Structure 1
């Protein structure tokens, strides 16, 4: 078995490679530009919702408060039929697009996935293992970390399946980078 400490360089480089690739994908390539739509009559919507002064968080409308009896009630069903029915995330006011904190969290997440890929690979492939074995185990683990949790948002919160598919494709790219770096730098 290979120690995780001996894999610090591929862990770091894999995390950096995914971080840089995701930056290129989201800043320069067009496939995520239509992931989120604006609401019609945005100014009117903001004027209507603004006075509620909602704190940052996730909301559902209408909301049954986790009560199955409320969900079965005629009043709740009428609200659902009338609409709107929505899940929404309210971000803090000010500058929610100052992305320093999110970028740091994303880099930390990239490193975490690389650590798990290293862990699985270190238990599956011995030192001096062949490139394809390392690629297979670390790549599958990285794909699980970057992509397999995404369909839950489409299943439960109705995020568009096209957005989920694009995110999973990104995850495949990231997993390939992680796997390639581990295969390249696997200890002899």
Structure 2
């Protein structure tokens, strides 16, 4: 199944200032999340973010926060009990997910979204955990549970569909 931009929402989980230095390759994860959110903006895909205990872990990284329509503060690891599903735009059943930590908040949220009937794509190169082994095991579990594991470039090109898309050059410039 292909992702469709007009049916997608981008969800960035806990890309927070105080958390990212502890994440393995955290700077790369932040960069990928910013690129994903920028591409989503170019293609009219809504971008939402979550923040785990922002009073303790700080807000989302500034550049991420600026690209989001809404940010949900939460205390559950899974964002759904804190109101995520109610924030998702109506009629958009595809949820593309990036963020941290892959094996805690991201996996629990993605599994709940699958249980709620959403189609979930996890952007592997835009996710991270403190320990890479935890991240890798979480990605395997997500795949076995029905989430599709993808990369940023896969998302970008599936959302555009063809090289004649009006944003093709702008998106291509972001990923080269």
Please indicate the TM-score interval, normalised by the length of the shorter structure.
under 0.3
The answer to which structure has the higher helix fraction is: 1
**Higher Rg of the two aligned structures:** 1
The answer to which structure has the higher strand fraction is: 2
Q: What is the TM-score normalised by the length of structure 2?
A: 0.25
